[in-house]
Copies of this chain bind each other. A is one copy, B any other.
Amino acid sequence: MNIHRKPRIAIDMDEVLADTVDKLIEVYKERHQHEVLLSDMHGREFGQTLPANLASSVKQYINERGFFRNLKVMPGSQDVVKALTEHYDVYIASAAMEFKYSLEDKQAWLEEHFPFISWTNIIFCGHKILDVDIMIDDRIKNFVTFNGRKLLYSSPHNFLIEGFERVNNWPDVAAKLLST
């Protein structure tokens, strides 16, 4: 019965729609006068760039209410996601369940920046066991049991990973999914 439906896309939030790394950089500048450069992160997680005495605080800051509320929107994402909704059934899927105070922040953030995405198409989960055709994500762990088309959204932590179809930015997504 699914034959004539639009193809479904699941789009991740952190580091795909929302610039979580930028926020972490700001937090460590403000609270610890410690500057992390994106080039330090090449192939590493943000926490791995920190000196030992700061590394454990990352989870604590991410767990603070409000952390996810004021993230910057990834350039071009709003226009491209809006255009995608014309041709695809677009879902926003975030592994938000890990951080219990993130849920309301993420909901409000999406309502502000992606108001054209209905609540019916928002998914907060852990494992992304989704029945979709295309997944856009910066974490290959979310691709492990997924058999559809996987687009690895480039983020410093995944720069060294090979063997996946990549998108480096939102114009790249548009070129792959909206051209023709």
Q: Which residues of A contact B (CB under 8 A)?
A: 1-2, 5, 8, 91, 97-98, 100-101, 103-104, 107, 118-127, 129-132, 144-147
B2 touches A145 (CB 8 A): yes
Q: How far is the CB of A134 from chain B (nearest CB, A)?
A: 12
Give me 15 other A-B pairs in contact (C-beta within 8 A), A103-B103, A131-B131 excluded: A1-B144, A2-B145, A8-B129, A91-B127, A97-B107, A97-B120, A97-B124, A103-B124, A104-B104, A118-B126, A121-B126, A123-B129, A124-B124, A129-B130, A130-B131
A126 touches B130 (CB 8 A): no
Q: Chain B contacts of A119 at CB under 8 A? A: 97-98, 126
Q: How far is the CB of A163 from chain B (nearest CB, A)?
A: 15
A130 touches B130 (CB 8 A): yes
Are A125 and B126 also in contact (CB < 8 A) when A100-B104, A145-B2 are? no
A129 touches B131 (CB 8 A): yes
